[in-house]
Amino acid sequence: MPLSEAKIGIMTHALHYGTACFEGIRGNWNSEEKQIYLFRVRDHFQRLKKSCHIMKISLPYSVDELCQFTVELVEKNGYREDIYVRPLAYKSSQVVGVRLHNLEDDFLMFVIPFGPYLDINKGCRCCVSTWRRIDDNMIPPRAKVTGLYVNSALAKTEAWENGFDEAILLNQYGHVSEGSGENIFLVVEGRLVTPPSSDNILVGITRNTIIELAKNELGIDTMERSIGRNELYIADECFLTGTAAHVTPVIEIDHRRIGEGAVGEITKKLQQLYFDVVRGKNPRYIDWCTPAYSSKTVA
């Protein structure tokens, strides 16, 4: 149905208590092939199913069915530019009362045109947030739960109001966790370093993509280990990864230049590899790309 007609009631449980799980899936426009490639769509729905399991939200569709709905939705909309698909599984009962049990669940999905989220060319300026990343025993960070994003929103707006582009959150032990909507990587002496899942990150699909590309294409290993705040300042390079953010270089943190204060060499190589892969231009990784348009639509 048209977006303007897709309404939910004002008493919907998820609106009041943040009891919903979502994903963000990018469709990347390939202008030569006149095709939109949905990137790692299966992985996104596998993660959504895990999030729903944690949140006791019933999602009565298989990963295959959800992928099929996505292709149909994108094809029906017919965009010829980069897009973003937002599936949301939510507690739909119109009742007052904080809980997860004895509630109905529902599912929705929409697609919108979506350009860059942060400056992928110039890079971004970050600060370490005064807000700490939520802990596993508060809201499971591995699950993409809407209510959890209050944590990200507080950090993002604080950063923006203080003149930065993005926030980097530490966890309760002071270890670097991630950006408000991105995972973080450092380049240290030619190797990649990124926080482990035990430091309260959302285990990102782009993060995994970069780990694979660095290893397979550049012969660069990634160390998943806790990172201290001070290591941010002295890293050779730093970048953020996420479905929205793609691979965004970080050129400054807390008013300290990172490396040369420009996009680093390894970051640049990974960016190039990544953009070819997500637009379906690298045959080695074509299995990660689902074409949304049938040959008839393309013609």
Ligand X SMILES: Cc1ncc(COP(=O)(O)O)c(C=O)c1O
User: For the chain, what is the largest distance between any 2 Cα atoms, rounded to a whole number of angstroms?
Assistant: 56
Q: Output 28 or 93, the one with its CB closest to ligand X.
A: 28
Q: Output 33 or 84, the one with its CB closest to ligand X.
A: 84
**Could you tell me which of 21, 149, 148, 143 has the C-alpha nearest to residue 90?**
21
Least gap, CB of 183 to ligand X (angstroms): 5
User: CA angle, 59 as apex, 104 and 14 as ends, to 5°?
Assistant: 45
Least gap, CB of 260 to ligand X (angstroms): 26
Least gap, CB of 168 to ligand X (angstroms): 11
Q: Output 243 or 248, the one with its CB closest to ligand X.
A: 243
Round to whole Å and give the CA distance between 255 and 69. 45
- Report helix angle 265-278 to 205-218, nearest 10: 110
Least gap, CB of 241 to ligand X (angstroms): 6
Catalytic residue at 269? no
Round to whole Å and give the CA distance between 204 and 184. 10
Residues 6+ apart with CB under 8 A from 139: 145, 147, 148, 151
Q: Output 18 or 24, the one with its CB closest to ligand X.
A: 24
Given 56, 76, 144, 215, which residue is catalytic? 144
Residues that bind ligand X (CB under 6 A): 24, 152, 178, 181-183, 202, 204-207, 241-243
Q: Where are the beta strands (DSSP E) in the chain?
A: 20-22, 25-30, 35-39, 83-91, 105-113, 124-132, 166-170, 176-179, 183-188, 191-194, 222-224, 237-242, 246-253, 256-257, 289-291
Q: Output 103 or 277, the one with its CB closest to ligand X.
A: 277
Round to whole Å and give the CA distance between 176 and 170. 4
Least gap, CB of 180 to ligand X (angstroms): 7
- Which residues carry out catalysis? 144
